[in-house]
Every structure is written in structure tokens, then in C-alpha cells.
Amino acid sequence: MEDSIKKRHVENGDREILYSRAIKAGKRIYYLDVKKNLKDDLFIAVTESKKIQSKDHLEVSFEKHKIFLYKEDFEKFMEGMRDVIDYIQNACSHESAEGIEIPAGKEDDSCDFPEEDTPSDNIKLNIEF
């Protein structure tokens, strides 16, 4: 009896969402969820959810990727995030400043990432714990 109570607590222990924010961005939705683990420590679960349709358009599924950020890592994570965002923003403004010709109507797209459907050599890992 005690084992089943403990097991239920473990199964539902960190599933309760205390606060959540959804960010819709094109084909993706990012969920920022504040959760509590079994030790009552708060952490952030970041989930990227992308809608995937089958080629015949009859079936829809969602590809999800998650990362967990713990309180002790917030400062280092934010520092790294700011650094890479600054790098991208500076690289984009640097390209424009160097006089690289940007086609009409593409001014805002000069540093966009390639479309998802474009084949690439990138390796994608989907690890869920």
C-alpha cells in the first residue's frame, strides 16, 4: 500500500505546473513551465512543440523537445543566451553594414535561418528522460 502511494507521488511529483507561458512562433510553440520536483525545488521545463503532418495530410502529430533548467543554472544559462543572441544580432547588423546587397523585400530576413524542409547535414537528437 505504501509503495503504491509513493509510486503515485513519484509519477505525479514534478508534473504539476505552477506557472506557464506559451510562445507561438511560426510552426512552433514554446512552453515555459514552472514546476516543482520531489524535493520542492522549482525548475523550468522548456518544451518546443512542432506540428508534423503526414504526407497525405490525414495524420497530425507533434514533435516535442524538452530541456530542464534548474535554479542554480539560471544565471549561467541567461548569460550564455544573451551572448549568442548578441552574436546573431551583431552578425546581422555587421552583414548589412558591410554593404552586402539585400534583395528588395528581404531587409528583415537577412539573417533568417533556412526553412525547416530544406535538407541539411545537421544531426538532431531527441532525448527524453
What pLDDT sits at residue 95?
Answer: 66
Q: Is residue 20 part of a domain?
A: yes
Q: Is residue 128 part of a domain?
A: no
CB 42 within 8 A of CB 66: no
Comparing 26-30, 78-82, 102-106, the range with the smallest average pLDDT is 102-106
Range of the domain at 28: 2-109
Which amino acid is present at 38?
L
Q: Is residue 34 part of a domain?
A: yes
Q: Is the pLDDT of residue 2 over 90?
A: no
Q: Is residue 115 part of a domain?
A: no
Q: What Rg, from alpha-carbon coordinates, does the chain have?
A: 20
Q: How far apart are CA 122 and CA 113, in angstroms?
A: 13
What pLDDT sits at residue 98?
Answer: 56
Q: Is the pLDDT of residue 111 over 70?
A: no
Q: Identify the bridge partners of residue 21 per DSSP, sorted by sequence position.
A: 32
pLDDT in tens, 47-67: 999 988 878 878 888 899 999
Phi/psi at 4 (5° precision): -70, -35
CATH of the domain at 30: 3.10.450.700
Closest to 46 (Cα-Cα) out of 26, 72, 74: 74
Q: Which residue has the higher pLDDT, 37 or 122?
A: 37
The DSSP output letter for 14 is T
What pLDDT sits at residue 3?
Answer: 45
Query: How many separate domains does the chain show?
Result: 1
Q: Is residue 23 part of a domain?
A: yes
What pLDDT sits at residue 126?
Answer: 52
Q: Is residue 114 part of a domain?
A: no
Q: Is residue 124 part of a domain?
A: no
User: What is the H or E stretch that residue 50 is in?
Assistant: strand 42-53
Q: Is residue 116 part of a domain?
A: no
CB 30 within 8 A of CB 42: no
